[in-house]
């Protein structure tokens, strides 16, 4: 504006909602229409790790389920992202059952980044129970994709890790040529439903079967989008999902992800987005508030504050003053 300023003070009035951790995750993978949702998810992930000692995994509902990125063991480096895409599609398929509660992608992705486990291959039978406890999943599905020996096929294998017992059981598998790897994923999904004690209705089974593509290039583009999303690179994820939709217009999954991820990468409509660092400062303030009043899933609230029934409101208002030096 042509004016020199030695100091600029910005006052931010933020209404910080405090739900989430006390209730079970939504059965569906809910769309999020604003970038602040990513900040909130990361804040809650950090708060959950700090309060990890208070978690009681036996109180997490038995049929809450998460799916971690699969390990890929293949000589062809073009297949490296496939573990993300197959896990993402498996999560969508498991969500078709009303009997299961699926941990939201945004929440699980934020926890994987918080624990530095966003790269496929780092969530295994050993680390899965802890991840499950922290995100409120009684069961966490972990698995691998490998080249089947002696034949031109890919093999998918998975286990279900229990947050209470810290054991991984119920090995299931499926195999198919690379171009038809979703046949193996569907076979794996059906076995996992059985392992989890779920009987699908005809409509639910049909919904699982619909989400397919025979175009390997489209599936790989989709998988790159899923990997970028786990890593928090939402602009890159959008580009990859749109490429997948272009390569196979009949593949429904990419467009569904575009609708959800577009909100994560949309430019902020408020003044927050115009000032670098302000979003992070808001997240820190939210995190510090949450740490004192929000229990992790399966945990217990300390006395006082929002835990007190006489507390006047479920919302905390905080004023954050940001001072920038030119």
Domain CATH code at residue 128: 3.40.50.10610
Q: Structure pTM?
A: 0.72
pLDDT recorded at residue 7? 35
CB-based contacts of 10: which residues, under 8 Å, 6+ apart? Answer: 271, 275, 278, 321, 322, 323, 324
Cα(208)–Cα(80) distance, integer angstroms: 24
SS (H, E, C) the chain: CCCCCCCEEEEEEEEEECCCCCCCCCCCCCCCCCCHHHHHHHHHHHHHHHCHHHCCHHHCCCCEEEECCCEEECCCHHHCCHHHHHHHHHHHHHCCCCCCEECCHHHHHHHHHHCCCCCCCCCCCCCHHHHHHHHCCCEEEEEEEEECCCCCCEEEEEEEEECCCCCEEEEEEEEECHHHHHHHHHHHHHHHHHHCCCCCCHHHHHHHHHCCCCCHHHHHHHHHHHHHHHCCCHHHHHHHHHHHHHHCCCCHHHHHHHHHHHHHHCCCCCHHHHCCCHHHHHHHHHHHHHHHHCCCCCCCCCCCHHHCCCCCCCEEEEEEEEEECC
Q: Is residue 263 part of a domain?
A: no
pLDDT recorded at residue 274? 44
Output b/e per residue, 201-229; b: 16+ Cβ within 10 A: eeebbebbeebbbebbebbbbbbbbbbbb
pLDDT recorded at residue 295? 42
pLDDT recorded at residue 226? 96
Q: Is residue 77 part of a domain?
A: yes
Q: Is residue 183 part of a domain?
A: yes
Cα(83)–Cα(85) distance, integer angstroms: 6
Report the domain count for the chain.
1
Q: Is residue 1 part of a domain?
A: no
pLDDT recorded at residue 65? 97
CB 204 within 8 A of CB 190: no
Alpha-carbon Rg of the chain, whole angstroms?
Answer: 21
pLDDT recorded at residue 125? 85
- The encoded tokens of residue 309 equal 């029934």
Q: Is residue 247 part of a domain?
A: no
User: For residue 106, how many other CB atoms are within 10 A of its CB?
Assistant: 22
pLDDT recorded at residue 227? 95
Structural domain boundaries, residue 111: 53-218
pLDDT recorded at residue 319? 60
Cα(151)–Cα(177) distance, integer angstroms: 9
Q: Is residue 172 part of a domain?
A: yes
Q: Is residue 121 part of a domain?
A: yes
Q: Is residue 286 part of a domain?
A: no
Beta bridge partners, 143, equal: 158
Walk along the chain (326 residues) and give the pLDDT tens digit of each residue. Answer: 444 333 333 322 233 333 333 333 334 334 344 467 888 899 999 999 999 999 999 999 999 999 999 999 888 888 999 999 999 999 999 999 999 999 999 999 999 999 998 876 678 888 999 999 999 999 999 999 999 887 889 999 999 999 999 988 878 999 999 989 999 999 999 999 999 999 999 999 999 998 889 899 999 999 999 999 999 899 999 999 999 999 999 999 999 999 888 877 655 444 444 444 554 455 445 545 544 444 444 444 344 444 444 444 445 555 656 555 55
């Amino acid at each position: 504006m042509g004016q020199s300023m030695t100091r600029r003070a910005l006052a931010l009035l933020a209404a910080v909602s405090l739900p989430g951790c006390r209730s079970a995750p939504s059965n569906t993978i809910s769309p999020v229409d604003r970038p602040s949702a990513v900040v909130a998810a990361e804040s809650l992930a950090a708060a959950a790790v700090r309060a990890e000692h208070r978690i009681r995994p036996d109180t997490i509902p038995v049929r809450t389920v998460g799916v971690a990125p699969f390990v890929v063991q293949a000589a062809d480096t073009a297949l490296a992202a496939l573990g993300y895409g197959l896990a993402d599609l498996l999560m969508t398929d498991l969500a078709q059952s009303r009997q299961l509660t699926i941990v939201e992608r945004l929440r699980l992705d934020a926890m994987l980044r918080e624990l530095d486990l966003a790269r496929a291959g780092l969530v295994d039978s050993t680390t899965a129970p802890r991840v499950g406890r922290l995100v409120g999943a009684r069961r966490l599905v972990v698995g691998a994709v490998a080249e089947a020996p002696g034949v031109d096929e890919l093999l998918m294998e998975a286990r279900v890790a229990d947050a209470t017992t810290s054991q991984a059981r119920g090995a299931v598998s499926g195999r198919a040529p690379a171009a038809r790897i979703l046949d193996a994923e569907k076979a794996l999904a059906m076995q996992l439903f059985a392992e989890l004690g779920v009987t699908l209705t005809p409509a639910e089974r049909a919904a699982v079967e619909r989400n397919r593509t025979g175009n390997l290039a489209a599936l790989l583009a989709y998988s790159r989008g899923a990997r970028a999303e786990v890593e928090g690179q939402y602009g890159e994820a959008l580009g990859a999902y749109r490429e997948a939709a272009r390569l196979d217009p009949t593949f429904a999954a990419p467009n569904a992800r575009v609708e959800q991820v577009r909100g994560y990468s949309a430019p902020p409509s408020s003044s927050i987005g115009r000032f670098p660092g302000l979003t992070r400062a808001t997240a820190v303030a939210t995190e510090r508030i949450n740490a004192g009043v929000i229990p992790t899933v399966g945990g217990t609230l300390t006395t006082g504050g929002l835990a007190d029934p006489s507390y006047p409101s479920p919302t905390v208002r905080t004023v954050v003053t940001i001072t920038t030096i030119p």
